[in-house]
Structure 1
Amino acid sequence: MTRLSPAAPPSTVTDEATGSAAGPRRRVLWLACGAHALHDGYTDMIYALLPVWQADFGLNFGALAVLRGLYAGAMATLQLPAGRLARALGTRATLALGTLLAALGYAAAGMSGTLFGLCVALALSGAGSSTQHPLASGAVSRAYGSDARGPLSIYNFAGDLGKSALPAAISVMITIMPWRHALWAMSGLGVLVAAVIALFLPSPALAPRAQPRASHRAAGSARAGFWLLFAIGVLDTAVRMGLLTFLPFLLKAKGISQPMMGTAFALVFMGGAAGKFLCGWLGARLGVCGTVFATEGGTAALIVALIALPLAPALAVLPVLGMMLNGTSSVLYGTVPELTPLENTERAFALFYTGTIASGALSPVAYGVLGDRIGAQGATIATAATALAIVPLVVALRPRLPGAPKRRS
C-alpha cells in the first residue's frame, strides 16, 4: 500500500519572491487548465462518436460500452505509473508526451479500418490522458502551495468547459465532414496543446520549499485523513453518477418531452460547472468540513425534492442540484495537498483520481442492479442515503485536517 506521510500546508514564498513568481504561477494554472479542458473533452467526445461508430462498424450496445470502457480503463489504471514516470522525466515532459499520445490516439482512430484498430487507438489515447489529472493538478498545487485551493477550483472548472466544448464541436464537425477528418482535426488541436506545454510550462522548481518532517503521530493522522478523504471522494462520485443514471427515468415518469430532456441535463451540467468554480473558494472560507456538510446535505435534500416535485418545479431545482452534486469535488481536490507532503503530491492526486474514476465507472452498474430490484425511484433514494453516509466520514476527517485543534490527552 502506498504510504502518504503528512506535511503542514506548504508555506508561500517570501514577499520578495511573490511578485516574480506570480507570472509563472499563473502560467502553470492556465496551462494546467488548458490540459484539463483538452483531456476531459477528449474523454467525453467519445459519447458524440458512438452513434457514428455503431453505424460504420455495425456494433451492438455492448461493443459500444467496451469502446468507452477501454479509454476510461486505460486512463484510470495508468495514473499511478504516470506519476512515477514524471519522477524520471519531469512533469513538463511527461504531461506533454501524454497529451501528444492522447492526440495521436485519436489520429489513429481516424485511420482505423477495423474494430480492433479502433480499440487499440482509444486505449492509446486513454493512456495518454492518464498523465493529465495527477500531473496538472500536482503542478498547480506545487505552484500555489497553501493558496492552492482557489486555483484548483479553477482547474477543476476548466475540465467541465472541455466536456462541454469538445463534444459539441465534434458533433458539429461530423455533420460537415467525414468523422475521420473531424478526428484528425481534433488530434491536431491536441498536438498544438502538447507543444505549448512542452515549451511554456514552468519548472516545478517554482514550488514553495518543502516543510520539515512531521512527527510520527502526525504522519499517522495525515495518512488516515487522506484515506478518509479518498473514501469521501469515492462515495461522492458514486452519488453523482448514480443520480445521473436514473435522472432521465425520473423525468420521463413526470412526463418530460424528449427535447426537454436535453435541456434538463444542460441545467444540471451548468449548475455543476458553477458549483466546481464556487465551492473551491467557499471551502477556503467556510472550511472543508462545513462546505462538504452543506453540499452533501443539500444533495440528499434536493434528490428527495426531485422525486416528490412535479415536472416544472423539478426542472427549477436541477441547476442547484447540479451545483451541490459537483461542488464537493473542488473542495476535496483542494484538500489533497494539505494532507500530503510536496514530494508526494502527484502520487496522492493519482491515487485520488484513480479512486474517483473507478467509482464513476462502477457505481452506475451497482445502482443499476439495485434499480432492477427496487425500481428507479428506490435506487435514486439510495443515492441520497449515500450522500448522507458521507457525513460521519467528514466528522472523522475534521480532527485530521491541518490547523484542526488537537484533543487533550
Structure 2
Amino acid sequence: MLGYVWLSVLRSAYALTLAALQIPATSLSLKFRPVHLLVGSTMVTALGWLLAGLAGGATALGAALVVAGVGGSVQHPIASAMVSRAYGTAAKRPLGIYNFAGDVGKSLLPASAAVLLTYGSYQHVVMVYAGVGLLAALLIWSQLKNVDTASQHPATRRNASSIRKGAEHPAAFRVLLFTAVLDSAVRMGFLTFLPFIIKAHGGSLAQTGIGLTLVFIGGAIGKFCCGWLADSVGSSRAIVLTEVATALLIVVVLMAPLMTGMLALPLLGVVLNGTSSVLYGGVTDVVEAPGLERAFSVFYTGTIGAGAVAPVLYGYVGDHASITAAVAVIAATAAVSFLPVSVAVFRRPDLFGEPARRSTRQD
C-alpha cells in the first residue's frame, strides 16, 4: 500500500508538470495566436486522459498525468491574459468568473464520475472525459477562430516584463506572488488530506465523494463572489478575512464530528478558493497589458508549484506524526498567509491602489 508521501507524489505529477511549463508556454505565445495554443493544448490534455484510461499501473498513470500537464500548462497564462486584455481595469470580476468556470468543472467531474462508475469501469469513464476534452477543443476553435483583437497578435505581447507598479513598486507583485504560494499550499494540502479526515471520523467512500463535491461547489461560489468582496472592502482586507476564516474552518472540520464538519465544508470551500480570485485579480493592478502573459505564467508557476510540492511535505508530516498534525500545520499556514500583504499595506497603504479604487467608487 502506498504511503501518504507516494500518494501525494502521484497526485502531484500533473501539477508539477503544469507548474514547470508555465513560463515556456508563454514563449509560444510570442509566435502563435492564443486560439491555436488553446486548441492544441486542450487536445494534448485530452490525449493525457486517454492514456490514463489505458494505463495499467501507477507508473503508467503518472506518465499519462504528465502528458495531460503538458497540455494544461498553456491554458492558464494565455486565457487569463486574454480575459485581462478584453476587460482592462475592470478585469477582476471577469477573472473571478473565469476561475469560477474552472471550479464548476471540478465540481461536476467527481459527481458525474460517481454516476458513470455505476455503469462502467474506471478506464471507460476516463476515456469518456478524454472525448469531452476533444469536444472542448472543437468548441474553443469554433468560438474564437475569428476573434481578431490586440490580444491575438504576437507583436503586441513582445514586452513581457512591464509591471505597472513594478516599474515603481516591484514589491507589489512579489507580495501577491508569495501570498498566493502560501494560499495554494494550504488549498492543495487540505484537499489531499480531506478524504483521510472524513475516513478518520467514520465516513464512508460515498461521504468522501460528497465532501469533496461540497468543497468544490463552495470553492466555485467563492471564486465567483470574492472579486466582489475585494471591490467592496479592498484586496488586502479580503485576503485577511478569507485566510483567517480558512484557518478556523479547517480546525472545525478536523476536530468536529463528521456531520458538523460536512456542514462546514461548503463554507470552507468558499474561503479556501475565494482568495485566489482576489490574488489573480490583483495581478491586473500591478502589471501592464504587454506583460500579462509573462506575469501570469510566473504567478501560476508559483501557485501550481506550491500546490504540487506542499502535499508531499504535509504528507511527510502525516507519515511521521499523524493526520491531525499534518492538517494542523496546514491550518497554521493559512493563519499566517495573510501577513505578507498586511505588512506591505501597513508600510505603504497605497501599494495595491486600494484608496484610488475606493475614491473612484464614491465618485
Same fold (TM > 0.5):
yes
Q: How many residues align?
A: 343
1:401: which partner in 2? 352
Equivalent residues of 1:91, 1:135 under 8 A apart: yes
Alpha-carbon distance between aligned partners in 1 of 2:24 and 2:249, rounded to the nearest angstrom: 39
Q: CA deviation at 1:218?
A: 4.6
CA distance in 2, matches of 1:363, 1:97: 30
**How many angstroms does 1:107 deviate by?**
3.8
Looking at structure 2, the residues matched to 179 and 308 of structure 1 have their Cα atoms a distance apart, in angstroms, of: 33
Once structures 1 and 2 are overlaid, which stretch shifts more, 164-173 or 376-385? 164-173
CA distance in 1, matches of 2:73, 2:27: 12
Q: Structure 1 counterpart of 2:271, which letter?
A: M
> Which residue number in structure 1 is paired with residue 80 of structure 2?
137
Q: Secondary structure at the match of 1:130?
A: helix
- Please name the residue that 2:93 is paired with: 150
Aligned-residue offset at 1:383: 2.0
Q: CA deviation at 1:289?
A: 0.7
Matches of 2:88 and 2:293 in 1, distance apart? 13
Change (3 A) 1:204 1:388: farther
Amino acid in structure 2 at the alignment position of 1:205: A
Per the TM alignment, residue 141 of structure 1 is displaced from its structure 2 partner at its CA by: 0.7
Check 1:166–1:397 CA distance in 2 against 1; reply closer, same or farther (3 A cut): same
Q: Which of 328, 351, 355 in structure 1 is aligned with 2:298? A: 351
Residue 302 in structure 1 maps to residue 249 in structure 2: yes
Alignment partners' CA distance in 1, 2:209 and 2:58: 30
The aligned counterpart of 1:287 is 234
Larger Rg, first or second structure (1 or 2): 1
Is the 8 Å Cα contact of residues 279 and 330 (structure 1) preserved in structure 2? yes
Structure 1 contact 222–401 (Cα < 8 Å) conserved: no
Q: After superposition, give the CA deviation of every residue in 1:84-108 in whole Å (9 maximum; x if it has no partner).
A: 1011112111111111222233345
Secondary structure, counterpart of 2:137 in structure 1: helix
CA deviation digits over 1:158-188, x for unaligned, max 9?
1111122234445544554566555554333
* 1:98-119, Cα deviation, whole Å (9 max, x unpaired): 1122223334555678987765
Match of 1:322 in 2: 269
CA displacement at 1:288 relative to structure 2? 0.5
RMSD of aligned Cα (Å): 3.3
Alignment of structure 1 residues 10-409 onto 2, 5 Å: 68-109=11-52, 120-173=63-116, 175-177=118-120, 182-201=125-144, 202-205=147-150, 218-398=165-345, 399=348, 400-404=351-355
CA distance in 1, matches of 2:68, 2:179: 29
TM-score normalised per structure 1: 0.73
Give the distance between the partners of 2:148 and 2:186, measured in 1 at CA: 37
Aligned residues of 2:283 and 2:296 also touching (Cα < 8 A)? yes
After superposition, the Cα gap between the structure-2 partners of 1:217 and 1:232, relative to the gap in structure 1 and judged at 3 Å, is closer
Which letter does structure 2 place at the counterpart of 1:139? M
Q: For residue 193 of structure 1, what is the amino acid of its counterpart?
A: A
- Cα gap change, 1:91 to 1:404, in 2 (>3 Å): same
Post-superposition offset of 1:142: 0.8
Task: Give, in whole Å, the separation in 2 of the partners of 1:112 and 1:247.
Answer: 26
Letter in 2 for 1:157: F
Q: Residue 87 of structure 1: SS of its match in structure 2? A: coil
Alignment CA distance shift 1:299-1:66 (3 Å): closer
Q: Describe the superposition over 1:123-174 as per-residue Cα deviations: whole angstroms up to 9, x where unpaired.
A: 3332111111111111111101111111111111111111222344455445
Residue by residue, what CA displacement relative to the aligned partner does 1:315-338 show, whole Å, maximum 9, x if unpaired?
332222221111111111111121
Letter matched to residue 102 of structure 2: G
Change (3 A) 1:156 1:102: same
Q: Is the 8 A contact 2:235 2:354 kept in 1?
A: no
- The gaps in structure 1 that reach 5 residues or longer are 1-58
How far has the Cα of 1:79 moved from its partner? 1.3
Asked if structure 2 preserves the Cα contact closer than 8 Å seen for 1:222 and 1:340, the reply is no
Distance 1:371 1:123, change over 3 A: closer
User: Distance between the aligned counterparts of 1:373 and 1:110, measured in 2?
Assistant: 33
Task: Encode CA deviations 1:341-394: one digit per residue, 9 max, x unaligned.
Answer: 111111111111111111111112212223345433333232222122123211
* % identical equivalent positions: 44
1:239·1:387 contact (CA, 8 Å) conserved in 2?
yes
Task: Specify whether residues 165 and 391 from structure 1 end up closer, same or farther in structure 2 by C-alpha distance, changes over 3 A only.
Answer: closer
Normalised TM-score (structure 2): 0.81
